[in-house]
């Protein structure tokens, strides 16, 4: 198990667009080791996802997984997914306000409008191409990680600064209302 340091807001690598990975290199030991490190680091930090530039490697690969996550107990399960060179496309104009946090912004949360329905095309860790539809909070998680690969933080997407809160204040004052609203949303859209 290799847990890498997660860089935080202010580190320049978080603001640069990550480089594409040549599909011929996906099965190589360097990319496979990077994927293993991303998985180990994401799980160790209880993240729902982790992009390579969050561990200071500017390559277009991210890991996503939600399985009874203590940081996000309201999120529906997402099996371990490795996305390489993802391309994300909104399918319509429907959005939902999600109160997001980030491992690279360790003590801050804020509301971000995310597309409810997205198409995501990517290669997995074996080089297999995928073309999938993601909905609801799962779509939001994919958008958050793809933003990282483009050098965008959730901070950039918060349109109402009044929604910024520390994790502690969110837990104390905002969590119950958010969880009630988002649970109703998840039940309506299914994920």
**142 exposed, middle or buried (CB, 10 Å; 0-12, 13-18, 19+)?**
buried
Rounded CA-CA distance 12/184 in Å is 38
What does the alpha-carbon distance between residue 178 and residue 88 come to, in Å, rounded to a whole number? Answer: 26
How many whole angstroms separate alpha carbon 161 and alpha carbon 163?
Answer: 5
* Cα radius of gyration (the chain): 16
Annotated active-site residue in 145, 168, 184, 187: 145
Task: Answer whether 185's CB lies under 8 Å from 96's CB.
Answer: yes
Question: Is 145 annotated as catalytic?
Answer: yes
22-46: burial string, b at 16+ Cβ within 10 Å, e else: eeeebeeeebeebbebbbbbbbeee
The residues assigned a catalytic role are 145
């Amino acid at each position: 198990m290799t847990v890498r340091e997660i860089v935080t807001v202010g580190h320049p690598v978080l603001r640069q667009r990550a480089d594409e990975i040549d599909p011929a290199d996906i099965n190589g030991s360097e990319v496979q080791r990077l994927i293993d490190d991303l998985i180990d680091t994401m799980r160790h930090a209880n993240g729902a996802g982790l992009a390579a530039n969050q561990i200071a490697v500017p390559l277009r690969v991210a890991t996503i997984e939600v399985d009874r996550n203590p940081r996000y107990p309201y999120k529906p399960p997402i099996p371990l997914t490795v996305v390489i060179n993802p391309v994300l496309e909104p399918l319509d104009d429907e959005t939902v306000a999600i109160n997001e946090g980030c491992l690279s912004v360790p003590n801050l949360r804020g509301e971000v409008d995310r597309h409810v329905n997205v198409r995501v095309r990517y290669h997995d860790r074996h080089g297999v191409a995928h073309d999938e539809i993601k909905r609801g909070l799962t779509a939001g998680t994919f958008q958050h990680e793809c933003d990282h690969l483009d050098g965008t933080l959730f901070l950039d997407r918060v349109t109402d600064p009044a929604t910024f809160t520390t994790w502690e204040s969110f837990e104390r004052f905002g969590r119950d209302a958010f969880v009630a609203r988002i649970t109703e949303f998840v039940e309506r859209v299914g994920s």
